[in-house]
Amino acid sequence: MRRLEALLLILVACVGAVAAVTITNVSEWHVQAVKSPIVKYWNSSPYPVVNGSWKGIGGLNITYYGLLFVPGWQEDYVVGRVANTSYAVAHFEKSSQAGTGTYSIYLGGQLQLSNIQNLGPDVSLPANIRWSSTAYSRYSVLAWLVFKSGPTGQQLVNFTAQPMSLLYTASRTCSYRSLTDTFAGGCVRANYSFSISVPNNRTYVSGKGTVSQDKYTGNPAPSLLTYSQQGYASFFINYSGSPFSASTSFAFQYMFSNSLQDADYIEVNFFVDTNGDGSPDLEVIYYGSGRGTTPLRLASVIYGNTLPVVARPMPGFTNKQNTWYTISISQVYSTGVVVGLAFTAYSPSGNINAWWDNVDFQKCAPPSYLGAVTNGGSVTMVYVDDVVSPSVAPSVATEVDARASGTASSSYGLSAALYDVVAKVGSPVSASGFSFSVSGLYIRNSTDVRNNVAYVSVAIDTNNDGVVDTEYIFYRNDTVDGPGYVVPVFSTTTGYYTYNIGGMVSGSSYTWSGSVPRSQNGSVLYVALVAVDASGNAPGTADDFWVFWDDLSLNYYACDPLPSGWSVSGDVTYRSTVAGGISYAANFTGKYPFGFYFFDSGLNPVFGVNVTSASSYVVVCGASRYTLSVSGVYWVDLRPLSGVYEAILRDSSGNILARQMCSPSGSLSYVGFKNANSFTLNVWGKT
């Protein structure tokens, strides 16, 4: 008999699921010519998690109840029912077990079988069969259903539990993060020893001049040779495509074969853009000469137009032949960017052999994530400054002059450095709770009218269309001579909020800091570092002021990129349903209310759970709503079963805390989240 039972255990465990069935022990009771007093059913609504069948072996009907489970998680279902055709009582007796698992099988609410119990009490029929299970691998229990209706009878029942397979998993992490930028990455050393060709160079000569590489002379060889004979010889490098800060220091070495005469010159010509339009506005010349003080201007030769000139003797110049000397310029110019420079020898009536070598300077330029918006007087621009900083150079300089003299609203000048948060971080960051801190050194020209405001604007996209529509502005002012003026940086802004965080005095450093309210929706796109001059306009830098910004710190909530196959539409993050998926289990966080749903083809929620607080979960089932009040939920398990949809709330170990079944209408096209940030989705099913 034991061998027969073992054979039955193996054979019955292999029977597949079929439609809902009613089973009687036909063979046994026909032998006795008596109608069976019991009928067994299985619950087809939660198919395929619950399934059933029967098989006749050796004149016996073996009833099969199957249960699919997520490994390690609690499953608890009414898998069937024992009904009676006449009065009867019944109980289960365990015959054998294969595999291991923690389980409890109830009849009419009375525990019958478990991994430590083999026999249950009699229960009046009809009675439901409830099966609770936690397991990691397949197991089977073969039991006799023993019933009494006058005579005693028994039927074999097989309970087989099988693990589901993990068909799909995906996750995205969102967390609070910090970023600090000293802008040091905007500066790199540039060195020219003329051993290879310098990019973007051109030569300009007149008279009998030449420009060439001297392979045999240098410190060490090779070097650049500019030979001037009754004219000029100039080696020009075009930096218009990658300008660098004019505030940089600049060093080089020179030598000539004969001492310079009175009208002879060697010179470095810097072409400086002071208004940010990419073209030079000023020619700054550092020169050495015998006794001359009017070096050659080259702007008209190179650019075709004459520029204002600032001419300065080379610091430490020595007029002595056949010796290499080093020139160190501490700062090329106080403002602007260099868009070109030239190494030049000039002798109007004689000749000069001038060699150049070991050029060294720090090439500072705004990094790729730093843009600019400028609208002001003649010298209004954004650049990376190599010398001045509220802490340690470099810094980002915003220089500004009013556009005209008049009312603030009609004449203000604005200079804004746009810190592209998305480009720097790699993804949008949440506006809710976003905070910043940045240092700034405020300097004004002594003749500047004191109607100045400097501020940080946090630029937000509230509706996820990629465009700024809201700004939070945190400003300081120096407004002895006027009321100041605060204006949104972006033309698309439809609303802005201003916060006065204090005053400022020229020559002093301050901290600008602030945060966005947690109630603010949307994403931060930019942090703008802004200077606004509301009065006074003068040529050059006479009526300008500067703010040198450094040590920017951002604190924000951000998310990793979405997994492959996921999309976003408004506040919905979704993907298509998974073939064969039975249990869609998600752990997720967001801003209340947020939820996990199945959506139809129009992304309308059909079935899911909306989280309204830490202990309130609303099951959405078409137009119906069911509130489950429970704490400690970690997993929301959605199961679109054949006859019923089920939402199960579980703790971190997979234990059931609450559940709700319903039958909504509508097809399920997508699965995903609404107003959620971090998530993990595991889809379990049958392969």
Are 401 and 544 a contacting pair, CB within 8 Å? yes
What band does 379 get if pLDDT is binned at 50, 70 and 90?
A: confident
E-assigned strand segments in 394-428? 395-400, 413-420
Q: What is the pLDDT of residue 25?
A: 41
Which residues are 273's β-sheet partners? 337
The domain boundary, picked from 330, 364, 398, lies at 364
DSSP string, 29-67: HHHTT---SEEEEE--TTTTTEEEEEEEETTEEEEEEEE
Same domain, 306 and 207: yes
Q: Is residue 350 part of a domain?
A: yes
**636-682: pLDDT as tens digits:** 999 999 989 999 999 999 999 999 999 988 899 999 999 998 999 99
Q: Is residue 172 part of a domain?
A: no
For residue 141 the two structure tokens come to: 């229990």
Same domain, 507 and 426: yes
Same domain, 12 and 84: yes
Q: What is the pTM of this model?
A: 0.71
What band does 85 get if pLDDT is binned at 50, 70 and 90?
A: confident
CATH number at residue 660: 2.60.120.710
**278-300: pLDDT as tens digits:** 999 999 999 999 999 999 999 99
What band does 559 get if pLDDT is binned at 50, 70 and 90?
A: confident
Rounded CA gap, 591 and 442, in Å?
A: 39
Q: What is the pLDDT of residue 674?
A: 96
**Phi and psi for 378 in degrees, rounded to 5?**
-60, -30
| Nearby residues of 325 by Cβ (< 8 Å), 6 or more positions away | 253, 254, 255, 316, 317, 318
What band does 12 get if pLDDT is binned at 50, 70 and 90?
A: very low
Please compute the mean of the pLDDT values over residues 384-403 and round it to a whole number: 94
Examine the pLDDT at 24 and tell me if it is beyond 50. no
For residue 550 the two structure tokens come to: 């450094």
Rounded CA gap, 304 and 299, in Å?
A: 7
Please compute the mean of the pLDDT values over residues 397-417 and round it to a whole number: 91
Among 336, 127, 356, 124, which residue's Cα sits nearest to residue 228?
356
Q: Please, what is the average pLDDT of the chain?
A: 91
Please compute the mean of the pLDDT values over residues 177-183 and round it to a whole number: 96
Instruction: Please state the domain count of the chain.
Output: 4
Q: Note the Cα 326 to chain centre separation in Å.
A: 48
Same domain, 675 and 609: yes
Identify the H or E element spanning 525.
strand 523-533
Same domain, 249 and 151: no
Counting other chains too, the contacts that 568-571 makes at CB distance below 8 Å and 24 or more residues apart are 568/464, 569/603, 570/464, 571/464, 571/674, 571/675
Same domain, 360 and 380: no
Rounded CA gap, 541 and 380, in Å?
A: 9
Least confident of 432-441, 502-511, 538-547: 538-547
Same domain, 505 and 574: no
Q: What is the pLDDT of residue 36?
A: 66
The conformation of residue 16, written as its DSSP 8-state character, comes to P
Which residues are 255's β-sheet partners? 355
Among 531, 502, 234, which residue's Cα sits nearest to residue 372?
531
Same domain, 424 and 549: yes
Q: Is residue 553 part of a domain?
A: yes
Between the alpha carbon of residue 71 and those of residues 67, 375, 583, the distances in Å are 12, 64, 12
Q: What is the pLDDT of residue 17?
A: 29
Are 596 and 588 a contacting pair, CB within 8 Å? yes
Q: What is the pLDDT of residue 32?
A: 38
Same domain, 17 and 153: yes
Same domain, 382 and 316: no
Same domain, 575 and 518: no
**351-375: pLDDT as tens digits:** 999 999 999 999 999 999 999 999 9
Q: Is residue 168 part of a domain?
A: no
Find the domain containing 39 and state its range.
2-162
Same domain, 193 and 315: yes
Please compute the mean of the pLDDT values over residues 249-263 and round it to a whole number: 96
Examine the pLDDT at 37 and tell me if it is beyond 80. no
Examine the pLDDT at 396 and tell me if it is beyond 80. yes
What band does 21 get if pLDDT is binned at 50, 70 and 90?
A: very low
Identify the H or E element spanning 591.
strand 581-599
Are 683 and 575 a contacting pair, CB within 8 Å? no
The domain boundary, picked from 364, 392, 412, lies at 364
Q: Is residue 178 part of a domain?
A: no
DSSP-based three-state secondary structure for 3: helix
Q: Is residue 111 part of a domain?
A: yes
Q: What is the pLDDT of residue 226?
A: 98
Q: What percent of the chain has pLDDT over 90?
A: 80
**609-647: pLDDT as tens digits:** 999 999 999 999 999 999 999 999 999 999 999 989 999
218: left (phi over 0), alpha (psi -120 to 50) or beta: left
CATH number at residue 196: 2.60.120.260
The domain boundary, picked from 310, 335, 364, lies at 364
| Nearby residues of 378 by Cβ (< 8 Å), 6 or more positions away | 274, 275, 281, 401, 539, 540
Q: Is residue 527 part of a domain?
A: yes
Examine the pLDDT at 274 and tell me if it is beyond 60. yes
Q: Is residue 472 part of a domain?
A: yes
**478-515: pLDDT as tens digits:** 999 889 999 999 999 999 999 999 999 999 999 999 99
What band does 453 get if pLDDT is binned at 50, 70 and 90?
A: very high
